[in-house]
Amino acid sequence: MSEKELPWERMSIETLEREYSPSSRVTNYEELVQSYTSESNKISKILKFEKDLIYGISSEEKLDLCLAEADDSPLVIFIHGGYWQLLSKDDCLFPAKDFVDRGISYCSIDYTLAPRAHINEMIEQCIRAVQWLYQSASNYGYDEKKFFLIGSSAGAHLAAMTMLADWKNYDLPTDIIKGCTLLSGVYDIRPIVKTYINEPLNLDMQTASMLSPLFKVKNHTADLIISWGENETNEFKRQSIEFDKKWKACGNTSNLMEVKGNNHFDIVFNMMKKDCALRKLIIEQIMRVS
């Protein structure tokens, strides 16, 4: 293999599809995904959420807010996964309680799914959500200078692209995102172009390159946490490691962590368990700014 050739470029389609199918390493993934919804339903009955707030230019651009009691609280903005094709904000309310109990407000956002929207539209929607949240801070009491992103799977890709946006073009501070946690993400989306995953996404190699955070990395003030579960495919692990290398090569700060015993689907639950080292990193990242 030449120095410039990446592992995925030598893979058969069968191997490539297996490497980019997280379910290939998990037998109960459907049960875990269903738990996102059931646990979110439980939390929504315990906590008060500001539901279905329109942040953008269409009725589909909605978010849910759960506010901490203290004024000027930090705000965590969660971007869900589902390979840009599945799930919604309503499936990702379950982390809210642990954050709110620590005095941190929580937000879960919707974006239009493929094939009805292209990935570049999803990125713009996530950016619009941050814009709206910044402009609405005084109405809801959180601190617009303490924004943190968390994204899981495809949501990690969207969170990375959102973090790397040129915020001057949106009349927002360049350091609006103070920290970002990326869970089991894809940062170079070219490998999926040849797979079944691309059918609703309709990407070609050029567009995939343009929409890959790996090729957008620049000097940045945000603190980054890049994490994945031990029971992930080799390609998901490699992608996280490569993104971390590129991030640090630009002089940026990050923490890289493999969570033992976790997989692509349950890391979002375990990240907030009190004995989880990832939880400690996330809370420390937020409290350093707060």
Can you tell me the distance from the alpha carbon of 124 to that of 119, in angstroms, rounded to the nearest whole number? 9
Instruction: Report all structural domains of the chain as residue ranges with CATH numbers, in order of start.
Output: 27-289 (3.40.50.1820)
The predicted structure's pLDDT at residue 2: 40
pLDDT grade, residue 143 (50/70/90)?
very high
What is the C-alpha end-to-end distance of the chain, expressed in Å? 47
Nearest to 263 by CA among 150, 98, 153, 189: 153
93-106: pLDDT as tens digits: 999 999 999 999 99
**Tokens linked to 180:** 């970002």
Other beta carbons within 10 Å of 79: 31
Q: At what angle do helices 154-163 and 119-135 cross, to 10 degrees?
A: 60
Can you tell me the distance from the alpha carbon of 28 to that of 157, in angstroms, rounded to the nearest whole number? 24
* Segment 252-275 mean pLDDT: 93
This prediction has a pTM of 0.97
200-234: pLDDT as tens digits: 999 999 999 999 999 999 999 999 999 999 999 99
- Tell me, what amino acid is at 179? G
Per the document, the length of the chain is 290
Can you tell me the distance from the alpha carbon of 264 to that of 153, in angstroms, rounded to the nearest whole number? 8
**Tokens linked to 78:** 């969660």
* Pair type for strands 105-109 and 62-66: antiparallel
The predicted structure's pLDDT at residue 3: 52
